[in-house]
Amino acid sequence: MQALKQALKTIMSHKLSTGIFWLGSAQVLGRIVRLGSSIIIARLLTPEIFGQVAIILTCFELIHTPTKRISSAMLIAIPDSEFNTSQRSANQLNWIACVGAFLLMAILSVPIANYYQQSELILPMMVMASSYLLLPLGMLHAAKNLKENNMRVVGSAVLWQTIFDSLLTGTLALLGLGIWAIIIPKVLVVLIWVAIHRRATVINYPTQSARALGRLSTPGIQVGLADLSIAMRQNIDYLLVGYLLGVEALGVYFFAFNASLGISLGLVQSYGTALYSNLCEAPADKRSEQYVSSLKLIFMIALPIIGLQAVLAPLYVPFIYGSQWVDAGALPIFILLCLSGLFRPLGEATSQLLISMGRSKLNLIYNLGFTAALTIAIVIASYFGLLMIALAILLLHLIAMPLFSFYIYQTLQPTRANRVKKSPREAHYEY
């Protein structure tokens, strides 16, 4: 009991815990609301439709990822005075990136549909792509809220997005709209996100030279590529399972992945968002200390949640989602993927640390290497079925994430000589 009280005291006293509280609670509350729609669609939609949705959302996420922080990563890190003079260029960059993303997904819809021999994918992909054109309306406002560490607003945007998405998805699924029950809400909720961020902050667009655009675009592209490598790492399994085992097997895997990792991935995402803002506020020579402290915090939160979820899965999966998913072999896959969530905060934290310290290239190299290793592991495991794929994913996260985190932490530490000879004020990190 005393240990529990001490753990809670540690969590609540940590500065980062405020950001995680607002973002994480939004994710958890949203997940509770989403549970209702998840039950409905799991019972009404077939594995084939889940497979089609996986293809569309994976393509959307891979194209969307490089645009998410193309301006915000730099805006969050720069001084307030430079933020004010960079707003017009950031807005231009956001529009260029999002219009390009829309065109790319619309063009790719035809060859992807032809490859999977699913012509019905074309229209949903184009509708999904239209959401890119709504994002620039709120991207600059969201960046300002993140810069000001206004995680209450950021969390509210996530929460109300999720609530609206879940309620509309469940309603449309009951009305028999099939795949459209998932696609239509995903587009409309962008307007909720935009409205909340715009209401919370005011943006002015001062006149400035075109040089500011270049000053933002170069680091933005670097961060975007690093984020894309992370998205590839997080979504390569969908692409490979669909390619190697077919759309129906992808549907089973997609269900198991989202049902098992929905809460933990939401928590990890919230943690990464809050951590990056906090790291940018801290002096460079204190960031690795804050990194370690944040990892202790996130594991104190995540370990009991993921542990209980994995232990209780045999009881609640068939009861909540239906026995058809157990019959399809989703339960052991669910448990293995759930356990892999224990190690994902390590990769997220280390990536945010590297980006905050201007080491996007190293972050990119690691994520590309991990993606390559994951691809090889999945291809080999696919010869033995979905269960072995899930086991391979767990083992790779178990081995690679801790090793990467430990290596980066050691690399960014000051040398022993510097610690002895120099005062804390004079000490610096050798990169």
| 286 vs 430: CA distance, rounded Å | 13
Name the band, by pLDDT with cuts 50, 70 and 90, for residue 423: very low
CB of 219 within 8 A of CB of 74?
A: yes
Name the band, by pLDDT with cuts 50, 70 and 90, for residue 415: very low
Write down the pLDDT at residue 420. Answer: 39
As a residue count, the chain comes to 431
pLDDT at 207 over 60: no
Write the CB contacts of 269 (distance below 8 Å, at least 6 apart in sequence): 23, 27, 348
Q: How far is CA 160 from CA 17, 34, 68, 126, 154, in A?
A: 21, 11, 19, 25, 10
Determine which helix (DSSP H) or strand (DSSP E) holds 258, and give its type and residue range: helix 247-281
Of 14-23, 45-54, 83-92, where does mean pLDDT reach its minimum?
14-23
Give 414's DSSP letter. Answer: P
Write down the pLDDT at residue 195. Answer: 94
Q: How far is CA 53 from CA 91, 134, 169, 401, in A?
A: 31, 21, 13, 29
pLDDT at 51 over 50: yes
CA angle at 399 for the pair 395 and 400, rounded to the nearest 5°: 115
When pLDDT is averaged across residues 143-151 and rounded to a whole number, the result is 83
pLDDT at 145 over 70: yes
Of 108-117, 339-348, 353-362, 382-391, where does mean pLDDT reach its minimum?
353-362
| 344 vs 3: CA distance, rounded Å | 25
Write down the pLDDT at residue 218. Answer: 62
Write down the pLDDT at residue 77. Answer: 76
Of 7-21, 183-197, 259-273, where does mean pLDDT reach its minimum?
7-21
**Would residue 203 be called left, alpha or beta, if left means φ above 0 and alpha means ψ between -120 and 50 degrees?**
beta
Greatest mean pLDDT among 82-86, 176-180, 286-290 lies in 176-180
The mean pLDDT of the chain is: 79
Write down the pLDDT at residue 413. Answer: 65
Give 412's DSSP letter. Answer: T
Q: How far is CA 261 from CA 31, 61, 82, 159, in A?
A: 11, 16, 39, 18
| 343 vs 302: CA distance, rounded Å | 10
Model pTM score:
0.70
- Residue 329: Cβ-neighbour burial (10 angstroms; 0-12, 13-18, 19+): middle
Q: How far is CA 50 from CA 61, 240, 258, 317, 360, in A?
A: 16, 15, 11, 17, 34
Of 199-203, 227-231, 424-428, where does mean pLDDT reach its minimum?
424-428
